[in-house]
Each structure stands twice: as structure tokens, then as C-alpha cells.
């Protein structure tokens, strides 16, 4: 099975409405620029900016909600982002039965991309 099929399978095995929500989030993330690519890493869709891990999609085990995890979330200051017990990453949870806050998502993604562009964070693969 090639990598594209593996990524597709991640989405296809999600129940609705999670599947639609995650697919919409994927499209929003990928629409932020041609430097963003989608790979399967640790069994989840990982999005990379110039081959550096940037954000990922997952479903929260406790809350049963899809989320975007920001690899360098500790550098992002938004009250909606949850660190929980993570020191580096923060997540943005979504209710799959509600419309996505697209403008908010795009603003956070843009700020996260700007961190990578500015060189303020060490880019590690």
C-alpha cells in the first residue's frame, strides 16, 4: 500500500461526522501554501512545512473531538489552544457537529507558519 493510500485510509476509517471534519481541516491546512505537504507519521496525518513537522490531525481520546495539533504550539498565544500535559505542542479542538471557525484556524496556521519562516524556532525534522 503506498503512502497516499495509507493517509486516505486514516480518513476513511473515521466515523461521520469526524471524517468530514478531518477532511475539511486537511483541505484548510493544505490551502495555506505549496510548502505544506501531507505525510503519514506515527499513524496520523502530519503536515510539514518545508519537510519540517508543523501540525497534525487526530481525535482526542477523552473528548472524542477532532483536533489540529501544533508541533510548536508553545510559541502560539491563543486562549483556544490547549497544552494539557504537553510541554511543546498545543491542540485546537473542534466540535464535528458545528461549522469550523475557518478564519480562526487560518489565523493560527498563518502565525505558526510565520514562526517557521522567521527562524524564531529551530526547525527539526
- Could you report the per-residue pLDDT of 60-113, keeping only the tens digit for each? 999 999 999 999 999 999 999 999 998 999 999 999 999 999 999 999 999 999
CB contact at 8 A, 28 and 92: no
Q: Is residue 123 part of a domain?
A: no
CATH no. for residue 54? 3.90.1150.200
Please give the tally of structural domains in the chain.
Answer: 1
For residues 88 and 72, give the distance between their C-alpha atoms in angstroms, rounded to a whole number: 6
Is a pLDDT exceeding 60 seen at residue 6?
yes
The SS3 assignment for 57 reads strand
CB contact at 8 A, 52 and 59: no
| Structure confidence at residue 24 (pLDDT) | 97
- Spatial neighbors of 113 by CB under 8 A, at least 6 apart, are 32, 33, 36, 49, 54
Query: Could you tell me the residue range of the domain that residue 38 belongs to?
Result: 3-118
Q: Is residue 75 part of a domain?
A: yes
Q: Is residue 24 part of a domain?
A: yes
Q: Is residue 41 part of a domain?
A: yes
Q: Is residue 67 part of a domain?
A: yes
Amino acid at each position: 500500500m503506498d503512502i497516499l493510500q495509507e493517509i486516505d485510509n486514516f480518513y476513511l476509517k473515521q466515523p461521520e461526522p469526524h471524517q468530514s471534519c478531518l477532511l475539511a481541516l486537511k483541505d484548510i491546512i493544505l490551502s495555506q501554501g505549496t510548502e505544506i505537504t501531507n505525510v503519514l507519521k506515527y499513524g496520523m496525518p502530519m503536515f510539514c512545512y518545508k519537510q519540517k513537522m508543523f501540525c497534525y490531525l487526530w481525535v482526542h481520546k477523552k473528548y472524542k473531538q477532532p483536533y489540529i495539533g501544533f508541533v510548536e504550539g508553545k510559541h502560539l498565544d491563543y486562549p483556544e489552544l490547549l497544552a494539557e500535559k504537553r510541554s511543546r505542542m498545543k491542540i485546537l479542538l473542534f466540535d464535528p457537529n458545528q461549522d469550523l471557525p475557518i478564519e480562526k484556524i487560518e489565523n493560527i496556521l498563518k502565525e505558526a507558519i510565520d514562526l517557521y519562516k522567521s527562524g524564531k524556532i529551530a526547525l527539526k525534522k
